[in-house]
Amino acid sequence: MLAKRIIACLDVRDGQVVKGINFEGLRSAGDPASLARRYNSEGIDELVILDITATLESRRALAETIRAVARELFIPLAVGGGIRTEADAEAAVDAGADKVSLNTAAISNPGLITTLANRYGSQAIVVAIDAKRAGDGTHFAVYSRSGTTSVNRDAVEWAREAESRGAGEILLTSIDRDGTKRGFDCPLTAAVSAAVAIPVIASGGAGGRDHFVEVFTAGRADAALAASIFHYEETSVRALKRHLQQHGIPVRL
């Protein structure tokens, strides 16, 4: 049976992980390759490296980070943050990324999804959607530029369009829940997951193991992504997966 995936996100700036840098037992706390190695040994299914500054200098450091992580880890690696052009995607793929994640650029230039899908295959193209509850709370509005700019689009409708343009997966982040540790937005995730045939990765709000159980059942997510909660030993990837297994959710152990 296809396993539900647990994905760890490394927020990187100038080659260093910027969230939760108090990792015991690591020689260099902020080193993405060290952290990636630890997650891999704990059984993470996939890694996302997110360049949170996306400046020109940061971009060069990013390529080095991708190379360092990809050199020794043989699990899927996605890279996002500031990928705006075919050349940006090419640089990430050439450095060792298996997938690139498009957000703002996909909204302003949806043709980029198709261009990249034709070049690398749909499996390599993730469209990241940042969504926030709107109106009476039953609709979900899309935001761009790291959640700062409303683009006047419905998240479900945009996910469908991204799929039709060649996206292979949707990385769906709830702006309302991001950083709150109150759990994933399950109605949002379920609405998008039901609307598309491609996998949906839920993100934003992970605060405990039961939040993952909820998003894989009520939320109908195919994968769930978190950053900071994996930084603490009490929520290790392995312990989380055992918890999911006890709740009848198929995982890779």
Partner 1 sequence: MTSPSVALIDYHAGNLTSVKKALAAVGAQVFVPATPEDVVDASAVIVPGVGHFDATRALGPEWVDAILQRVGEGRPLLGICLGMQWLYEGSEEAPDVRGLGVLSGECRRLKAPPGSALKIPHVGWNSVDQSRDASIMDGVASGSQAYFTHSYVAPITGDTVASTEHGESFASVVQRGQIAGVQFHPEKSGEVGLQILRNWLRQAV
**Mind telling me the catalytic residues?**
11, 130
Q: Which of residues 208-237 bind partner 1 (CB under 8 A)?
A: 220, 222-223
Residues 161, 154: contact at Cβ < 8 Å? Answer: no
Position among 57, 60, 121, 232 found at the interface with partner 1 (CB under 8 A): 121
**Binding of residue 198 to partner 1 (CB under 8 A):** yes
| Binders in 171-190 for partner 1, by CB under 8 A | none
Write down the least CB distance from residue 8 to partner 1, Å: 14
Contact with partner 1 (CB under 8 A) among 169, 206, 214, 244: 169
Give the nearer residue to partner 1 in terms of CB position, either 46 or 141.
46
The count of chain residues that interact with partner 1, using the rule CB under 8 A, is 31
- If binding is defined by CB under 8 A, does position 197 make contact with partner 1? yes
195 belongs to the binding site for partner 1 (CB under 8 A): no
Where in 86-115 is the site for partner 1 (CB under 8 A)? 93-94, 96, 98
Interaction site with partner 1 (CB under 8 A): 1-5, 40, 45, 70-72, 74-76, 93-94, 96, 98, 120-124, 168-169, 197-199, 220, 222-223, 252
